[in-house]
Chains A and B, each alone.
Chain A
Amino acid sequence: MKKAIVICAAVFFAVFSGQGWSQTHSDAFRGKIHDPGKLQPTDSQLKVKEGDEAPDFSLPSISGDMIALGRYRGKKNVVLSFVPAAWTPVCSDQWPGYNIVEPMFREHDATLLGISVDNIPTLDAWTRQMGGLWFPVLSDFWPHGGAAEKFGILRSDGTAERALIIIDKKGTIRFIKVYDINKRPPLETLMKALERLK
Protein backbone atom coordinates (compact mmCIF):
# COMPACT_ATOMS: atom_id res chain seq x y z
CA MET A 1 0.00 0.00 0.00
CA LYS A 2 2.84 2.36 0.93
CA LYS A 3 4.39 1.76 -2.47
CA ALA A 4 1.09 2.63 -4.16
CA ILE A 5 0.88 5.96 -2.28
CA VAL A 6 4.47 6.79 -3.23
CA ILE A 7 3.75 6.06 -6.90
CA CYS A 8 0.58 8.19 -6.83
CA ALA A 9 2.56 11.06 -5.29
CA ALA A 10 5.39 10.69 -7.82
CA VAL A 11 3.05 10.74 -10.81
CA PHE A 12 1.13 13.69 -9.39
CA PHE A 13 4.38 15.61 -8.79
CA ALA A 14 5.70 14.79 -12.26
CA VAL A 15 2.54 16.06 -13.92
CA PHE A 16 1.89 19.11 -11.80
CA SER A 17 5.34 20.28 -10.78
CA GLY A 18 5.39 22.50 -13.87
CA GLN A 19 2.17 24.25 -12.90
CA GLY A 20 2.33 27.58 -11.16
CA TRP A 21 5.43 28.86 -12.96
CA SER A 22 5.29 30.90 -16.07
CA GLN A 23 6.92 33.84 -17.74
CA THR A 24 5.67 37.28 -18.49
CA HIS A 25 4.93 38.36 -22.02
CA SER A 26 5.96 41.90 -22.74
CA ASP A 27 3.61 43.66 -25.10
CA ALA A 28 6.78 44.57 -27.00
CA PHE A 29 6.65 41.08 -28.53
CA ARG A 30 2.90 40.86 -29.17
CA GLY A 31 2.24 38.25 -31.87
CA LYS A 32 5.95 37.70 -32.51
CA ILE A 33 6.88 34.90 -30.14
CA HIS A 34 7.16 31.21 -30.91
CA ASP A 35 6.30 29.20 -27.83
CA PRO A 36 8.05 25.82 -27.88
CA GLY A 37 6.17 24.67 -24.77
CA LYS A 38 7.87 23.22 -21.75
CA LEU A 39 11.28 21.74 -22.54
CA GLN A 40 13.62 19.36 -20.78
CA PRO A 41 15.26 21.65 -18.17
CA THR A 42 18.86 20.86 -19.19
CA ASP A 43 20.29 18.68 -21.93
CA SER A 44 24.08 18.80 -21.94
CA GLN A 45 27.15 18.00 -19.88
CA LEU A 46 29.46 20.80 -18.75
CA LYS A 47 33.04 20.51 -20.02
CA VAL A 48 34.45 23.19 -17.73
CA LYS A 49 34.14 24.08 -14.07
CA GLU A 50 34.82 27.02 -11.79
CA GLY A 51 38.57 27.55 -11.49
CA ASP A 52 39.29 26.39 -15.04
CA GLU A 53 40.73 28.65 -17.68
CA ALA A 54 37.90 29.75 -19.96
CA PRO A 55 38.13 28.38 -23.52
CA ASP A 56 38.68 31.21 -25.98
CA PHE A 57 36.30 31.88 -28.85
CA SER A 58 35.76 34.51 -31.46
CA LEU A 59 32.26 35.29 -32.72
CA PRO A 60 30.62 37.89 -34.96
CA SER A 61 28.48 40.49 -33.24
CA ILE A 62 25.34 42.14 -34.60
CA SER A 63 27.28 45.41 -34.90
CA GLY A 64 29.60 43.74 -37.43
CA ASP A 65 32.72 43.26 -35.25
CA MET A 66 34.37 39.96 -34.48
CA ILE A 67 34.67 39.69 -30.70
CA ALA A 68 37.17 37.34 -29.11
CA LEU A 69 36.89 36.55 -25.41
CA GLY A 70 40.65 37.06 -25.14
CA ARG A 71 40.33 40.80 -25.88
CA TYR A 72 39.08 41.35 -22.32
CA ARG A 73 41.98 39.47 -20.67
CA GLY A 74 43.62 41.76 -18.11
CA LYS A 75 41.05 44.49 -18.76
CA LYS A 76 37.52 43.49 -17.78
CA ASN A 77 35.59 40.77 -16.04
CA VAL A 78 33.22 39.16 -18.51
CA VAL A 79 29.72 37.78 -18.04
CA LEU A 80 28.56 35.41 -20.77
CA SER A 81 24.80 35.08 -21.04
CA PHE A 82 23.98 32.14 -23.30
CA VAL A 83 20.29 31.94 -24.24
CA PRO A 84 18.67 29.15 -26.24
CA ALA A 85 16.87 30.91 -29.07
CA ALA A 86 15.63 34.26 -30.34
CA TRP A 87 11.90 34.97 -30.50
CA THR A 88 11.03 32.54 -27.71
CA PRO A 89 9.23 33.46 -24.47
CA VAL A 90 11.81 33.29 -21.69
CA CYS A 91 14.78 34.47 -23.78
CA SER A 92 12.85 37.54 -24.96
CA ASP A 93 12.23 38.26 -21.30
CA GLN A 94 15.85 38.09 -20.09
CA TRP A 95 18.22 40.48 -21.87
CA PRO A 96 15.85 43.50 -21.68
CA GLY A 97 16.26 43.27 -17.89
CA TYR A 98 20.05 43.39 -18.20
CA ASN A 99 19.55 46.45 -20.35
CA ILE A 100 18.64 48.60 -17.32
CA VAL A 101 21.46 47.44 -15.04
CA GLU A 102 24.53 48.50 -17.02
CA PRO A 103 25.79 50.54 -14.01
CA MET A 104 25.74 47.40 -11.87
CA PHE A 105 28.04 45.66 -14.37
CA ARG A 106 30.29 48.74 -14.50
CA GLU A 107 30.47 48.80 -10.71
CA HIS A 108 32.03 45.32 -10.87
CA ASP A 109 34.31 46.28 -13.75
CA ALA A 110 32.47 43.74 -15.86
CA THR A 111 31.05 43.63 -19.34
CA LEU A 112 28.30 41.41 -20.64
CA LEU A 113 28.26 39.37 -23.82
CA GLY A 114 24.93 37.95 -24.96
CA ILE A 115 25.25 34.81 -27.07
CA SER A 116 22.83 32.57 -28.91
CA VAL A 117 23.13 30.10 -31.78
CA ASP A 118 20.86 32.23 -34.00
CA ASN A 119 22.29 33.92 -37.07
CA ILE A 120 23.09 37.64 -37.25
CA PRO A 121 19.94 38.80 -39.11
CA THR A 122 17.71 37.02 -36.62
CA LEU A 123 19.57 38.39 -33.62
CA ASP A 124 19.61 41.87 -35.09
CA ALA A 125 15.84 41.90 -35.68
CA TRP A 126 15.13 40.40 -32.26
CA THR A 127 17.27 42.83 -30.28
CA ARG A 128 15.84 45.80 -32.23
CA GLN A 129 12.43 44.66 -31.01
CA MET A 130 13.83 44.93 -27.48
CA GLY A 131 14.65 48.55 -28.23
CA GLY A 132 18.39 47.90 -28.61
CA LEU A 133 20.88 46.63 -26.02
CA TRP A 134 23.97 48.24 -24.51
CA PHE A 135 26.04 45.04 -24.60
CA PRO A 136 27.43 43.12 -27.57
CA VAL A 137 25.24 40.33 -28.89
CA LEU A 138 27.18 37.52 -30.53
CA SER A 139 26.09 34.87 -32.99
CA ASP A 140 27.29 31.32 -32.32
CA PHE A 141 25.64 30.21 -35.55
CA TRP A 142 28.65 28.86 -37.47
CA PRO A 143 30.31 26.52 -36.82
CA HIS A 144 26.98 25.87 -35.23
CA GLY A 145 27.12 26.22 -31.45
CA GLY A 146 30.93 26.09 -31.51
CA ALA A 147 31.41 28.36 -28.49
CA ALA A 148 28.59 26.70 -26.52
CA GLU A 149 30.13 23.30 -27.26
CA LYS A 150 33.51 24.42 -25.84
CA PHE A 151 31.79 25.01 -22.49
CA GLY A 152 29.64 21.89 -22.79
CA ILE A 153 26.33 23.74 -22.99
CA LEU A 154 25.12 22.80 -26.47
CA ARG A 155 21.86 20.89 -26.29
CA SER A 156 21.11 17.91 -28.49
CA ASP A 157 18.65 19.96 -30.57
CA GLY A 158 21.33 22.51 -31.51
CA THR A 159 20.22 25.28 -29.13
CA ALA A 160 22.38 26.45 -26.24
CA GLU A 161 21.47 26.06 -22.61
CA ARG A 162 20.32 29.05 -20.62
CA ALA A 163 23.62 29.64 -18.84
CA LEU A 164 25.52 32.38 -17.06
CA ILE A 165 29.31 32.28 -16.89
CA ILE A 166 31.58 34.79 -15.19
CA ILE A 167 35.21 34.97 -16.30
CA ASP A 168 37.62 37.16 -14.37
CA LYS A 169 40.35 39.38 -15.79
CA LYS A 170 42.83 36.49 -15.61
CA GLY A 171 40.62 34.41 -17.87
CA THR A 172 39.50 32.07 -15.08
CA ILE A 173 35.92 30.86 -14.81
CA ARG A 174 34.67 32.13 -11.46
CA PHE A 175 30.98 31.23 -11.82
CA ILE A 176 29.14 28.89 -14.13
CA LYS A 177 25.52 27.92 -13.83
CA VAL A 178 23.21 26.19 -16.28
CA TYR A 179 19.62 27.13 -15.51
CA ASP A 180 16.37 25.37 -16.26
CA ILE A 181 15.76 26.42 -19.89
CA ASN A 182 12.13 27.18 -19.03
CA LYS A 183 12.91 29.77 -16.36
CA ARG A 184 14.61 33.14 -16.23
CA PRO A 185 17.62 33.29 -13.91
CA PRO A 186 17.05 35.66 -10.99
CA LEU A 187 19.14 38.81 -11.32
CA GLU A 188 20.34 38.66 -7.72
CA THR A 189 22.19 35.37 -8.30
CA LEU A 190 24.29 36.99 -11.00
CA MET A 191 24.92 40.15 -9.01
CA LYS A 192 25.95 38.20 -5.91
CA ALA A 193 28.39 36.19 -8.04
CA LEU A 194 29.85 39.43 -9.41
CA GLU A 195 30.26 40.76 -5.87
CA ARG A 196 32.35 37.73 -5.02
CA LEU A 197 34.94 38.79 -7.61
CA LYS A 198 36.13 41.58 -5.33
Chain B
Amino acid sequence: MKTEILLALVISLCFCFFCPGDAVSGDQEKPPRAGEAFPAVLLSVPENPASRSYLGLSSEAGTFEIGSIKARLLVIEIFSMYCPYCQKEAPKVNQLYQKIENDSHLKERIKLIGIGAGNSAYEVDVFRKKYNVRFPLIPDPGFEIYGQIGEVRTPFFFVVKISREEKPHRVVHTELGGLNGVSRFLEKTANLLKSADRED
Protein backbone atom coordinates (compact mmCIF):
# COMPACT_ATOMS: atom_id res chain seq x y z
CA MET B 1 0.00 0.00 0.00
CA LYS B 2 2.82 2.39 0.88
CA THR B 3 4.46 1.73 -2.51
CA GLU B 4 1.17 2.52 -4.28
CA ILE B 5 0.80 5.84 -2.48
CA LEU B 6 4.41 6.77 -3.14
CA LEU B 7 4.05 5.88 -6.81
CA ALA B 8 0.89 7.99 -7.10
CA LEU B 9 2.61 11.00 -5.58
CA VAL B 10 5.64 10.64 -7.83
CA ILE B 11 3.44 10.36 -10.97
CA SER B 12 1.34 13.37 -9.95
CA LEU B 13 4.30 15.57 -9.14
CA CYS B 14 6.15 14.60 -12.32
CA PHE B 15 3.05 15.55 -14.32
CA CYS B 16 2.74 18.86 -12.49
CA PHE B 17 6.39 19.79 -13.05
CA PHE B 18 6.62 18.74 -16.67
CA CYS B 19 3.23 19.94 -17.86
CA PRO B 20 3.13 23.76 -17.81
CA GLY B 21 -0.04 25.33 -16.47
CA ASP B 22 -0.62 27.25 -19.68
CA ALA B 23 -0.89 24.01 -21.58
CA VAL B 24 -3.63 22.89 -19.23
CA SER B 25 -5.62 26.12 -19.16
CA GLY B 26 -5.06 27.04 -22.82
CA ASP B 27 -3.81 30.45 -21.76
CA GLN B 28 -1.54 32.50 -23.97
CA GLU B 29 1.31 34.38 -22.33
CA LYS B 30 1.47 37.34 -24.71
CA PRO B 31 -1.31 38.98 -26.71
CA PRO B 32 -1.28 38.24 -30.45
CA ARG B 33 0.31 41.03 -32.48
CA ALA B 34 -0.57 42.35 -35.92
CA GLY B 35 -0.22 39.55 -38.46
CA GLU B 36 -0.78 36.81 -35.91
CA ALA B 37 -3.88 34.66 -35.50
CA PHE B 38 -6.52 35.78 -33.03
CA PRO B 39 -7.30 32.93 -30.62
CA ALA B 40 -10.45 30.92 -31.28
CA VAL B 41 -12.45 32.35 -28.39
CA LEU B 42 -16.06 31.50 -27.65
CA LEU B 43 -18.26 34.42 -26.64
CA SER B 44 -21.68 34.39 -24.97
CA VAL B 45 -24.51 35.28 -27.33
CA PRO B 46 -25.93 38.62 -26.15
CA GLU B 47 -29.37 38.46 -24.53
CA ASN B 48 -30.31 41.76 -26.11
CA PRO B 49 -31.94 41.20 -29.58
CA ALA B 50 -30.53 44.53 -30.83
CA SER B 51 -27.00 43.36 -30.05
CA ARG B 52 -27.62 40.04 -31.82
CA SER B 53 -29.00 41.87 -34.81
CA TYR B 54 -26.02 44.29 -34.85
CA LEU B 55 -23.63 41.33 -35.00
CA GLY B 56 -25.81 39.39 -37.44
CA LEU B 57 -26.07 36.37 -35.14
CA SER B 58 -28.80 33.84 -35.80
CA SER B 59 -28.65 31.96 -32.49
CA GLU B 60 -30.42 33.41 -29.45
CA ALA B 61 -28.41 31.68 -26.73
CA GLY B 62 -25.21 29.78 -26.08
CA THR B 63 -21.90 30.85 -27.50
CA PHE B 64 -20.58 32.06 -30.83
CA GLU B 65 -17.25 32.34 -32.56
CA ILE B 66 -16.18 35.68 -34.02
CA GLY B 67 -16.38 34.23 -37.54
CA SER B 68 -20.18 34.30 -37.14
CA ILE B 69 -20.15 38.09 -36.99
CA LYS B 70 -21.29 39.72 -40.22
CA ALA B 71 -18.37 42.06 -40.71
CA ARG B 72 -14.98 42.33 -42.38
CA LEU B 73 -13.17 43.88 -39.42
CA LEU B 74 -13.98 43.49 -35.78
CA VAL B 75 -12.78 45.99 -33.20
CA ILE B 76 -12.55 44.28 -29.80
CA GLU B 77 -12.12 46.34 -26.67
CA ILE B 78 -10.88 44.38 -23.66
CA PHE B 79 -12.17 46.34 -20.68
CA SER B 80 -13.22 45.94 -17.07
CA MET B 81 -15.91 47.70 -15.11
CA TYR B 82 -13.27 48.08 -12.39
CA CYS B 83 -10.65 49.75 -14.60
CA PRO B 84 -10.44 53.54 -14.15
CA TYR B 85 -8.98 54.09 -17.63
CA CYS B 86 -11.76 52.01 -19.22
CA GLN B 87 -14.31 54.17 -17.40
CA LYS B 88 -12.59 57.34 -18.62
CA GLU B 89 -12.33 55.97 -22.14
CA ALA B 90 -15.97 54.78 -22.39
CA PRO B 91 -17.39 58.01 -23.91
CA LYS B 92 -14.67 58.00 -26.58
CA VAL B 93 -15.34 54.37 -27.49
CA ASN B 94 -19.04 55.29 -27.76
CA GLN B 95 -18.04 58.06 -30.18
CA LEU B 96 -16.08 55.56 -32.24
CA TYR B 97 -19.13 53.29 -32.42
CA GLN B 98 -21.36 56.20 -33.43
CA LYS B 99 -18.96 57.41 -36.12
CA ILE B 100 -18.87 53.91 -37.63
CA GLU B 101 -22.67 53.65 -37.48
CA ASN B 102 -23.04 57.06 -39.13
CA ASP B 103 -21.00 55.96 -42.12
CA SER B 104 -23.09 53.85 -44.50
CA HIS B 105 -19.98 52.20 -46.01
CA LEU B 106 -18.28 51.34 -42.72
CA LYS B 107 -21.30 50.32 -40.66
CA GLU B 108 -21.86 47.05 -42.49
CA ARG B 109 -18.18 46.20 -42.57
CA ILE B 110 -16.75 47.19 -39.19
CA LYS B 111 -18.31 45.99 -35.93
CA LEU B 112 -17.32 46.78 -32.39
CA ILE B 113 -17.61 44.64 -29.27
CA GLY B 114 -16.33 44.88 -25.71
CA ILE B 115 -15.21 41.93 -23.61
CA GLY B 116 -15.47 42.51 -19.87
CA ALA B 117 -12.44 40.68 -18.50
CA GLY B 118 -13.32 39.12 -15.16
CA ASN B 119 -16.70 40.85 -15.25
CA SER B 120 -19.95 39.02 -14.63
CA ALA B 121 -23.04 39.71 -16.76
CA TYR B 122 -24.27 41.92 -13.90
CA GLU B 123 -21.03 43.93 -13.82
CA VAL B 124 -20.97 44.34 -17.60
CA ASP B 125 -24.56 45.57 -17.43
CA VAL B 126 -23.63 48.13 -14.75
CA PHE B 127 -20.91 49.47 -17.06
CA ARG B 128 -23.29 49.48 -20.06
CA LYS B 129 -25.93 51.46 -18.19
CA LYS B 130 -23.45 53.86 -16.58
CA TYR B 131 -21.92 54.89 -19.90
CA ASN B 132 -24.91 54.22 -22.16
CA VAL B 133 -22.89 51.81 -24.27
CA ARG B 134 -24.80 50.80 -27.40
CA PHE B 135 -22.46 48.18 -28.85
CA PRO B 136 -22.44 44.62 -27.44
CA LEU B 137 -20.54 44.05 -24.21
CA ILE B 138 -19.78 40.43 -23.48
CA PRO B 139 -18.99 39.12 -19.99
CA ASP B 140 -15.95 36.97 -19.25
CA PRO B 141 -16.52 36.22 -15.55
CA GLY B 142 -13.98 33.42 -15.26
CA PHE B 143 -11.20 35.23 -17.17
CA GLU B 144 -11.24 32.42 -19.77
CA ILE B 145 -11.16 34.74 -22.80
CA TYR B 146 -8.80 37.10 -20.99
CA GLY B 147 -6.38 34.20 -20.49
CA GLN B 148 -6.68 33.12 -24.11
CA ILE B 149 -5.89 36.56 -25.50
CA GLY B 150 -2.81 37.03 -23.33
CA GLU B 151 -3.90 38.91 -20.18
CA VAL B 152 -3.50 42.39 -21.63
CA ARG B 153 -3.65 45.60 -19.63
CA THR B 154 -6.96 47.38 -19.97
CA PRO B 155 -8.30 48.97 -22.01
CA PHE B 156 -6.77 47.13 -24.94
CA PHE B 157 -8.00 47.20 -28.52
CA PHE B 158 -7.64 44.48 -31.13
CA VAL B 159 -8.66 45.02 -34.73
CA VAL B 160 -9.25 41.58 -36.22
CA LYS B 161 -9.78 40.70 -39.86
CA ILE B 162 -12.54 38.14 -39.97
CA SER B 163 -11.69 35.29 -42.27
CA ARG B 164 -14.34 34.09 -44.69
CA GLU B 165 -12.57 30.81 -45.25
CA GLU B 166 -11.39 28.06 -42.96
CA LYS B 167 -8.42 30.18 -41.95
CA PRO B 168 -7.70 31.79 -38.58
CA HIS B 169 -8.88 35.32 -38.05
CA ARG B 170 -5.88 37.65 -38.17
CA VAL B 171 -5.06 40.51 -35.86
CA VAL B 172 -4.33 43.54 -38.05
CA HIS B 173 -3.81 46.14 -35.34
CA THR B 174 -3.54 46.45 -31.55
CA GLU B 175 -3.51 49.38 -29.15
CA LEU B 176 -2.96 49.50 -25.42
CA GLY B 177 -4.59 52.20 -23.36
CA GLY B 178 -6.83 54.91 -24.75
CA LEU B 179 -7.85 55.35 -28.35
CA ASN B 180 -5.51 58.35 -28.58
CA GLY B 181 -8.02 60.23 -30.73
CA VAL B 182 -11.28 58.78 -32.00
CA SER B 183 -10.85 60.17 -35.54
CA ARG B 184 -7.29 58.89 -35.72
CA PHE B 185 -8.35 55.40 -34.66
CA LEU B 186 -11.26 55.40 -37.10
CA GLU B 187 -9.04 56.54 -39.96
CA LYS B 188 -6.54 53.82 -39.11
CA THR B 189 -9.31 51.20 -39.03
CA ALA B 190 -10.82 52.43 -42.30
CA ASN B 191 -7.39 52.12 -43.94
CA LEU B 192 -7.06 48.61 -42.56
CA LEU B 193 -10.43 47.81 -44.11
CA LYS B 194 -9.16 48.99 -47.51
CA SER B 195 -6.08 46.78 -47.12
CA ALA B 196 -8.26 43.82 -46.16
CA ASP B 197 -10.41 44.36 -49.27
CA ARG B 198 -7.33 44.58 -51.50
CA GLU B 199 -6.02 41.29 -50.13
CA ASP B 200 -9.21 39.45 -51.11
Contacts and interface: CB of A to CB of B under 8 A. Distances in A.
Given A20-B147, A100-B126, 17 more contacts: A3-B8, A4-B8, A7-B8, A16-B21, A19-B21, A24-B118, A24-B154, A26-B153, A93-B82, A99-B84, A100-B81, A100-B127, A104-B126, A184-B118, A186-B141, A187-B122, A187-B126
Interface in B108-162: 117-118, 120, 122-123, 126-127, 130, 141-144, 146-147, 151, 153-156
Interface of B: 1, 4-5, 7-9, 11-13, 15-16, 21, 24-25, 27, 80-88, 117-118, 120, 122-123, 126-127, 130, 141-144, 146-147, 151, 153-156, 176-177
A12 B16 contact: yes
A16 B23 CA distance: 11
Contacts of B21: 16, 19
A87 to B, nearest CB: 14
A94 interface: yes
Contacts of B151: 22, 25
Contact of B86 (A4, A7, A26, A191): A26
A93 B8 contact: no
B84 A28 contact: yes
Contact of B84 (A7, A26, A184, A191): A26
A24 B150 CA distance: 11
Nearest to A11: B12
B153 A25 contact: yes
20 contacts: A4-B4, A4-B5, A4-B8, A8-B8, A11-B8, A11-B9, A12-B16, A19-B24, A23-B143, A26-B86, A26-B154, A27-B153, A99-B87, A100-B87, A130-B84, A131-B87, A184-B118, A187-B81, A187-B122, A188-B122
Contacts of B81: 97, 100, 187
B23 to A, nearest CB: 10
Nearest to A4: B8
A3 B130 contact: no
A19 B25 contact: yes
Given A25-B151, A93-B80, A97-B123, A3 B4 contact: yes
A189 to B, nearest CB: 9
A24 B8 contact: no
Contacts of A22: 118, 143, 146-147, 151
Contacts of A5: 8
Given A15-B16, A20-B144, A28 B83 contact: yes
Contacts of B122: 186-188, 191
Nearest 9 A/B pairs, CB to CB:
A11-B12, A97-B82, A26-B83, A4-B8, A188-B122, A7-B8, A24-B80, A27-B153, A15-B16
A23 B147 CA distance: 10
B12 A12 contact: yes
A74 B21 CA distance: 52
